[in-house]
Amino acid sequence: MNRSDFPAGVRAQLPILLGVAPFGLIYGVLAVGAGLPPSIAQAMSSIVFAGSSQFIGTNLFADNAPFVVIVLTTFVVNLRHALYSASLAPHLERLPLRWKMLFAYLLTDEAYATGILNYQKPDRSGDPWKRHSFYFGTALALWLTWQLSTGIGILFGAQVPASWALDFALPLTFIALVIPALADRPAVISAVVGATVAVAAYDWPYKLGLMAAALTGIIAGLIAEQYRTRPQ
Amino acid sequence: MTPFQIWITIMAMGLVTYLVRLSFIVAWGRLAMPDVVRRALRYVPTAVLSAIILPEMLRPGGGPINISFSNARLIAGLIAGVVAWRTRNILLTIAIGMVVLWGLQLIGV
């Protein structure tokens, strides 16, 4: 662990935390408002640990939705994590199983974004732990912030004014991460197609629009790659 | 639901979420992945991140598409994009994007 990039991973996550913490506060307030006991509301943050599905789950509990509906909805909303899991998998292949299990538990949109772009950078050190410790730092920082912010929301009902627009820190960070990754034409095409479909399908329920956008973007990238490698 | 039933439901929500997250990480190297899957993975970050970014800029608050100077998030996002492209500096991109957004909100855009 001597050449650790853990602090660099934490630092990379800091701007995103600016947007995540207010979101966690809102979850805490809504969960208690929906009638969930505080202990259960907080347990959801550590057991499920997925913002969007916690919001939707809270609403479903308030509506007295049946068990099967809540669990299936959670599954569908979180299906995009399978893409993140596949995308990270080759980089984690040589890790011991217990680390794979921990890294999977910590896998969120935010940890994926900073983590994968670090894994994809050219590695000059030859020390795989540098990247793993970066991911561990970036993912753990998000986990801790989510636990604390939802807890504060649950206990104190604290909220940040919406006019501060801190939620915009997340797309801004993603802009800063994705633009250097647009290194060739297929990558640009995957981004343009993914973004366009996402705008059109933004109203689809259960984050299915994002899933459809990601899949069409990936397919578009693959097709563009075929055209590039074909002779003539 | 009784608190006990809610606990069981949350455990199940956590389990399905965890299994989705774990799926490929644990299966990789044990199952033979077709070559097309390996190549497809290259496009996951660009496709997903762009798909999260653009609706936040074009459809703020989940409303209809707004391409005009009255959309502060679109303007702030575009300027941030130029900063990211020219400087490759993550913190500068975020800082300028937020300052532009706050400035536009202040003058009532």
What is the rounded CA–CA span in Å between residue B31 and residue A192? Answer: 32
Contact A18, A166 (CB under 8 A): yes
Residue with tokens 């921990």: A102
Report how far residue A131's alpha carbon sits from residue A119's, in angstroms, rounded to the nearest whole number. Answer: 6
Shared domain check, A148 and A46: yes
| Total of domains in chain A | 2
In a domain? residue A113: yes
Torsions phi, psi of A56, nearest 5? Answer: -65, -40
Range of the domain at A124: 6-166
A129 to A39, A86, A94, A109, B103: CA distances (angstroms) = 36, 20, 11, 22, 42
Please identify among residues 65-104 of chain A the ones whose CB lies closer than 8 Å to any CB of chain B. 67, 70-71, 74-75, 78-90, 92-93, 97, 100-101, 103-104
- Asked whether residue A177 is assigned to any structural domain, the reply reads no
Q: Global pTM?
A: 0.92
Please give the angle made by the CA atoms of A165, B58 and B62, to the nearest 5 degrees: 65
Task: Assess whether A98 and A198 both reside in one domain.
Answer: no
Q: What is the pLDDT of residues B56-99, one digit of tens each?
A: 999 998 899 999 999 999 999 999 999 999 999 999 999 999 99
Nearest residue of chain B to residue A56 (CA atoms): B13
Indicate the residue of A100, A116, A188 with minimum beta-carbon distance to B26: A100
Residue range A157-202, pLDDT digits in tens:
988 898 899 999 999 999 999 999 999 999 999 999 999 999 999 9
Q: Does any domain span residue A111?
A: yes
A100/B102 touch (CB, cutoff 8 Å), yes or no = no
Looking at the DSSP bridge assignments, the partners of residue B31 are: B28
